[in-house]
Structure 1
Amino acid sequence: MTKCAECGNDFDVSDARDEYRAEWSAADEEGEYDELYEGGLCGSCALSQTESNLNAGRAIMMVNGDEDYDQEHVDSYL
């Protein structure tokens, strides 16, 4: 068992990989747990962090004019 750097819970890295892969496969997106988290986060925390990073990226794109602007989204993630 490994301790999650985010929440502090013990977790199995292979279970975290499977949870992460299942979520991204369901969303028809590409996500690679090992490249991003190297076994440091449980599946739930890895998914949460990835979602947060993607939302921050979208907010930056909105500010730069690369995506339709949504003030509420920008306020929430930047």
Structure 2
Amino acid sequence: MEAKLEYTNGEVTIVWQPRICQHVGICARGLPEVFQPRDKPWIKINAADTAALIAQVQKCPSGALSFYMNADKPSED
């Protein structure tokens, strides 16, 4: 499994680090339309607005989910 996976809606990117995920389900219970662990890809990032995504990611107890704003990421030239 990859060290991290990224999902973006063009404005924000959610980063998931599966190796540190505790699978407690806080994300899926908080935003079930976005976080669907039985599907692939399991994060349906376009199912909620950016503010809702950020608010839910910030509740991740393990730190397996994080985010960055695409406008703030330095370009990799």
Give TM class, smaller chain. Answer: under 0.3
TM-score by length of 2: 0.24
Structure showing greater radius of gyration is 1
TM-score by length of 1: 0.24
More strand by share: 2
More helix by share: 1
